[in-house]
Structure formats: structure tokens, C-alpha cells
Structure 1
Amino acid sequence: MLVEEIMKTEVITLTPKATINDALQLLQQHKIRHIPIVNNDFQVIGIVSDRDVRDASPSTFFDSTTDVDVLNNEIQSIMTSPVVTIHPLDFVEEIAAIFYEKEIACLPVVSHERLIGIVTEKDMLYTLIQLTGTHVQSSLIEVKVPDRPGILPEVAAIFGKRKINIVSVLIYPYRDPDYKILVFRVKTLNPMPIIQDLREAGYPLLWPNNIAEPKR
């Protein structure tokens, strides 16, 4: 999946000469948490979060003119720069690592040096929900398999014989490097027949692991 498929293209922006109060108003009005700061060519030169604005705003315990004047400072005085950006043709799975490694909550999307969209951590979470299929009624089955070529289609064929629709497949490492874990989310609320088929084929189940072995 590409970034362009999940990014928001209607982006609220400010210029560096805008005030902190301008940012505060936009954050509250549009219920957003980040505002990219752009120049006249719509190039991203900074970004401001709701936390940046909150930290720069006057304390509620003081109401002096000096404190209020802080809101009239230019937004460039508190913006973060330079900004980590992504491209619309980047893979969503890869930018997830950027969110994690950089500990950021928002990534502007840039093409030909111009801002064209934005992706937030909320967008990422929603996308991962879609990719894993947890938004549909389904059953989860975790299978321990040998780590060898061809094992995935081999196990998937067992599901195919039952004509069970596979919603998603995830692959995790196992503590023994000679094995890995296949996590199938399947569109059935009665996984018992396929569980029995997997066990009869010799594949240990890690989940569900509380269902008795079929009697022989």
C-alpha cells in the first residue's frame, strides 16, 4: 500500500509570519494536532504541534499583558525545523518505521518539493487495522511452521480445501530461528474444522491453544 492511498490532501497550513494565536485558533477550529508551516512556494519549512502551541501559550494562572503578547509572536519562533517528510509513492509499511524510530506523530507528504498531503499516527493505526482485517468479523489462527521456502502456500492450501476466505496473513519470527509463526485471520466464526485439519497435517497451533486435540 502506498502513502498516496491513505494521506489526507486537504492540509491546514500557516506561513512562518503567522502568529501563535493563529495556530491556536486553527488547531481548535479544525480539531487537528499538527500544522505544517510553508513558504510562498508551498515548501515545508517547519511544523507546529498542539503541544508546541500549548507550551508557548500563557499560563491560566497569569493574565498580564506580557503573557498575552506571547500569542502574537510569529509561529516560526516555536516551529520544529527541519521537518521529516515522505513521498506519496513510499510504502505505508516502511513509513511506519519512521513514526516509531523518530517518535513523531505526523509526516507531511511532499512531491517535487511541494506539500501535497499529510499522514498522522491515527491514519497509520487505521490503515494497520484495515491491513490486518481486525475490522471484520473473523477468527484468528496462529500456526507454528518450519522456516522453509513454500511453507506459506502449503498451509494456505489447507484453508483452500475448506473454501475458507483468508482475510489477512501475518508472519512473525519464532524464538527458535528454524521456525516462524503464521497468523491467519479467516472469515469464519467456526474455526474448528480448519483447526482440526491443521493439526492432522502436523502443524502445532499457538492460538487457539485451548481447544482439545481431535480424538483419533
Structure 2
Amino acid sequence: MLVEEIMNTDVASLPPTATIASALKLLHEKKIRHITIINEEKNVIGIVSDRDVRDATPSIFEENREHTELQNEIQTIMSQPVVSVHPLDLVEEIAGIFYEEEFACLPVISSNKLVGVITEKDMLHTLIEITGTNVQSSHIEVKVPHKPGILPEVAAIFGARKTNITSVLVYPYKNDANYKILVFRIQTMNPLPVIKDLQSAGYELMWPNDNAGPER
């Protein structure tokens, strides 16, 4: 999946000379958490979060103080340089950037121009779709040898039952490189026939199993 498929193209941005007060207003009006700062050529030169603005906003308890801070330019509190991604980057690879750098938002740049943003919420929503947890389904985990052709071999058992597979994920098995865990989500509320077929074929089920209790 590509970044351009999940990015938000309705991007809230301000010039670096805009005031902190205008940023605060934009955050409230758009109900967003980040604002990209762009120059006249639409190049991204900074990014400001709601926390940055909140930290720069005077306390409501300071009644006798002139709140001139809100008239400061947004460039005085923006973060720079800005890490960005491209519309044709793979979402799976971008997830690593979010995790490792602990970012909450990344601008999407094409030809040095701002074309969108992608947030941690976008990433979480995509993960939900990829794993198939957003549709009613049954969850089955199968321990298999780590060898070529094992996935279609196991999937054929579902196909023999004409069971629709919603999603497939592959996980490592503990610290044993000789095995993998295949995680299937299938569109049936009665997975017992497929489970029995898998067991009859000699596969070990990690979920559901006798030690795991009733199926989730």
C-alpha cells in the first residue's frame, strides 16, 4: 500500500510569519493537531503541533499580564528541519519511521511541494484494515515450517471449504527461525470445520487451541 492511498490532501498550513494566535485558531477550527509551515513556493520549512502552540500560549491564570506572546510569529516555535515522505513510499516502511522517531505527523512531499500529510491515526486505521479486524470474522493462527510454498499449501485448505480469507499475516515464531505463524482472518462465524481440516493435515494451531480457551 502506498502513502498516497491513505494521506490527507486537505492540509492545514500557514506561512512562517503567521502569528501563534492564528495557529491556535486554525487548530481549533479544523480540529487538528498539526500545522505545516510553508514558504511562498509551497516548500515545507517547519511543522507545529498543538503542544507547541499550547506551550507558547499564556496561562489563563496570568490575569494581570499582557499576552503579547500570541502575536509572535509561528516560525519562533516551529520544529525544523522537517522529516517528510513521498506519495509513492510504502506505508509499511513509513510505519517504521513513526515508530523509531516517535512522530505523530509527517508531511508528504512531491517535487518539493506539499501534497498531503499522514498521521499516526492514519497509520493505525490502515493497520486495522490490513489485519481485517474492522470486519466480522474468525481468527486462526497456524504454526508452520519456514519453507517456500507453505502459505499456498495452508491456504488451499481454506479454499477447499470455499472459505473467504479476509487477511493473512506472517509472524515470527518466538526465537525459532525454523517456524512461522500464519494468522488468518476468515469470513465465517463457524471456523470449526476448517480448524478440523487443519488439524487433520497435521498443522499445529496456536489459536484457537485447547490451552487458549474459547475463541475470541
Give yes or no for TM over 0.5.
Answer: yes
How far is the alpha carbon of 1:155 from its aligned partner? 0.4
User: Does 1:11 find its partner at 2:11?
Assistant: yes
Per-residue deviation, residues 66-123 of structure 1 (Å, max 9, x unmatched): 4x10111000000000001000000111100010011010010000000000111111
Instruction: Calculate the TM-score normalised by the size of structure 1.
Output: 0.95
User: Does 1:206 find its partner at 2:180?
Assistant: no
How far is the alpha carbon of 1:63 from its aligned partner? 2.5
For 1:158, the equivalent position in structure 2 comes to 157
How far is the alpha carbon of 1:60 from its aligned partner? 1.8
For 1:32, the equivalent position in structure 2 comes to 32
How far is the alpha carbon of 1:209 from its aligned partner? 1.2
1:34-183 alignment runs, 5 A limit: 34-66=34-66, 68-175=67-174, 176-183=176-183
| Equivalent pairs, count | 211
% identical aligned pairs: 66
What is the DSSP-based 3-state SS (H/G/I as helix, E as strand, rest coil) of the residue aligned with 1:177? strand
Q: Distance in 1 between matches of 2:159 and 2:17?
A: 61
Instruction: Calculate the TM-score normalised by the size of structure 2.
Output: 0.95
Where do 4+ consecutive residues of structure 1 move more than 4 Å? Answer: none
Q: Distance in 1 between matches of 2:32 and 2:143?
A: 43
Q: Distance in 1 between matches of 2:78 and 2:177?
A: 46
How far is the alpha carbon of 1:211 from its aligned partner? 8.1
For 1:2, the equivalent position in structure 2 comes to 2
Which ranges in structure 1 are unaligned for 5 or more consecutive residues?
A: none
Which ranges in structure 2 are unaligned for 5 or more consecutive residues?
A: none
Q: Distance in 1 between matches of 2:109 and 2:130?
A: 24
